[in-house]
A = this chain, B = another copy of it.
Amino acid sequence: MLSERRLEVLRAIVQDYVGTDEPVAVGSKALTERHRLGVSPATVRNDMAALEDEGYIAQPHTSAGRIPTDKGYRLFVDKLAGVKPMTAPERRAIQNFLDGAVDLDDVVGRTVRLLAQLTRQVAVVQYPSLTRSTVRHVELLSLAPARVMLVLITDTGRVEQRMIDCPAPFGETSLADLRARLNSRVAGRRFADVPQLVQDLPDAFEAEDRGTVATVLSTLLETLVEETEERLMIGGTANLTRFGHDFPLTIRPVLEALEEQVVLLKLLGEAGDSSMTVRIGHENAYEGLNSTSVVSVGYGSGDEAVAKLGVVGPTRMDYPGTMGAVRAVARYVGQILAES
């Protein structure tokens, strides 16, 4: 077990290292000067040697200072650092900025910009997921005798549409009937419950219409399932330029990961439940993100998280500040969604 002071030394190292943009490692002398550790550089050196033995810090090259390892950051985040709360003006700014949103796209767009700006990193915001949402309304439009458009509206304001070619012409009356029956059954219900709720619906129709009704229903179910493949928005990629001084190699895989929404969704998905999650460096399953950290948290309109948001930045980041910003933004987005 590490002594109290050694932990203090680790904290000091992380803070100093993160606090500057220079590619410089931090040494014992500088540490004692900037922090009131109450001991001499020599002592700190001993502690640093111990910390290095335990794998919390490392030397980039012999006779240089130390930099934190992923393990070191991990300890820092878990034990040494809290979440830095936003100041009151910051909170007001967040709220004001988000309050101006007019629709779901706008909410997500504003959130992503806000998060990127606050953290000066790349922001990722998942659209409220369909899985946990409920159906607000299902609309059926007849575009041609045997062509129907299905429009699905969710409680989070999301709209999905599908074109359906019917096996047989379908009259306006039947369509209106189906529309009414469908809505009375599924409106306000959770997506997951819809399949059972509509199962016996074709039975209520004339034989000639059953094929079409079945087609419409299966399209609806498909939409519910397929579109659970969730969308997301990213922003602040320009902040990648602040990454390291050894650019192309670091930045390229990150840009690639950001374009692969699948990767990002998996990343957010893996991040446990809705509580704040920090994945540091190699803790990220995706190789391209091995020198980045991902801070994410669930957000939702009620008690329950409907999606996640977060940022991805260099492992050398201000964890308390980033976590504070992410948490605050998630909270306010949740409020906005609950209101609308």
A139 interface neighbour in B141, B163, B248, B259, Cβ under 8 Å: B141
A238 CA / B259 CA spacing, docked (Å): 8
A276: chain B residues within 8 A (beta carbon): none
When distances are taken between beta carbons in the complex, the residues of chain B under 8 Å from A151 are 139, 151, 153, 159
Interface residue? A258 (CB, 8 A)? yes
Q: How far is the CA of A139 from the CA of B151 in the complex (A)?
A: 10
**Complex partner residue of A136 from B143, B153, B238, B247, CB under 8 angstroms:** B143
The smallest C-beta distance from A235 to any residue of chain B, in angstroms, reads 6
Is A328's CB within 8 Å of the partner chain B?
Answer: no
A289 within 8 A of B: no
Query: Is A240 in the interface zone, CB < 8 Å from B?
Result: yes
A161 touches B (CB below 8 Å)? yes
Q: Which of B241, B248, B258 contacts A237 (CB under 8 A)?
A: B258
Complex CA–CA separation, A252 to B151 (angstroms): 41
Q: Is A323 an interface residue (CB 8 A)?
A: no
A149 at the interface (CB under 8 A from B): yes
Report how far A255 CA is from B239 CA in the complex, Å.
Answer: 9
A219–B255 Cα distance when bound, in Å, is 39
Q: Please give, as numbers and ranges, the residues of chain B lying within 8 Å of A247 by CB-CB distance.
A: 241, 247-248
CA distance A163 to B339 in the complex (A): 13
Residues of B within 8 A of A248 (CB): 241, 247
Q: Evaluate contact between B259 and A252: CB separation under 8 angstroms.
A: no
Check A236 for interface membership: any CB of B closer than 8 A: yes
The interface residues of chain B lying within 8 Å CB-to-CB of A255 are: 237-238, 240-241
Within 8 A of B (CB), among A48-74: none
In the bound complex, what is the Cα–Cα distance between A252 and B248 (angstroms)? 13
Chain A residues with CB under 8 Å of chain B are 103, 136-137, 139, 141, 143, 149, 151, 153, 157, 159, 161-163, 235-238, 240-241, 247-248, 251-252, 255-256, 258-259
Interchain residue pairs with CB less than 8 A apart (21): A103-B161, A136-B143, A137-B141, A137-B143, A137-B149, A139-B139, A139-B141, A149-B153, A151-B159, A157-B161, A157-B163, A159-B161, A236-B259, A237-B259, A238-B252, A238-B255, A238-B256, A240-B255, A241-B251, A241-B252, A241-B255
